Structure formats: C-alpha cells, structure tokens
Amino acid sequence: MTQRAMFPPHHSLPTPPRDRDVAGTAALVLAVASLALTTQVWGLFLVIPVGISSMACGVVGVRRAKRGEASNGGMALVGLVLGSVITVPTTCFLMWLIAGLHGAYG
C-alpha cells in the first residue's frame, strides 16, 4: 500500500526582483540637504562632502536605472544635476574666499 501525500507539492511563483531605488532617492535627498546647507554660514563647508555624496549616489542611481534595476532614474538624474550645480559654485566660492583671506592676512 502506498501512502498518499496529504498536501500537493507547493510550487511558488518566482518573486520579481525588488527595485534598487535607494541610490536615486539618496541622491535627491542629499542634493536638497546641500541646498539647505548653503544658507548656513558654517554649512558652506559641509556642502562639498554632501554634494559629492549626492553626485556619487546620482551616478549609481542613473546606472542602475539604465540597467533596469531601478525605477527612479529621473530622481537620480535630478539629484546628480542639482548636487553638481550646488557643489561646483560653492567650491569655487570657498576657494576664492580662502585665497582672499590668505592674501589679506598672509
């Protein structure tokens, strides 16, 4: 006598891969944070590392979107562009300010 299985074998459907949207979201959040830091006197020195982080996350997010791993490529691109538009002029301003202070006191 053969024993019959009580329940049929379980066959689950393959789960779709999860989107990897964290980099694009982080790029936009960091870009907005660097924009907010430009309004603070001591925040100007934090704009450079936060802006560079925004640009790095934006590049990663855009690449993931191009490969189809992420669905927020536009958000990543906005974070990349906004981060670079804020970081580059702020860096130039700080270099000019430091050079001017060095010339005045040096």
List of residues 6+ apart from 38 with CB closer than 8 A: 44, 47, 86, 90
Q: Which amino acid is at 42?
A: W
Q: Any idea which of 8-12, 28-32, 76-80 has the lowest mean pLDDT?
A: 8-12
Task: Please compute the mean of the pLDDT values over residues 67-75 and round it to a whole number.
Answer: 93
Whether 5 has a pLDDT exceeding 70, the answer reads: no
List of residues 6+ apart from 70 with CB closer than 8 A: 19, 20, 21, 23, 24, 61, 64, 76
Query: How many Å apart are CA 24 and CA 30, to the nearest integer?
Result: 10
Mean per-residue pLDDT over the chain, rounded = 89
pTM for the model: 0.79
Quote the pLDDT of residue 3.
66
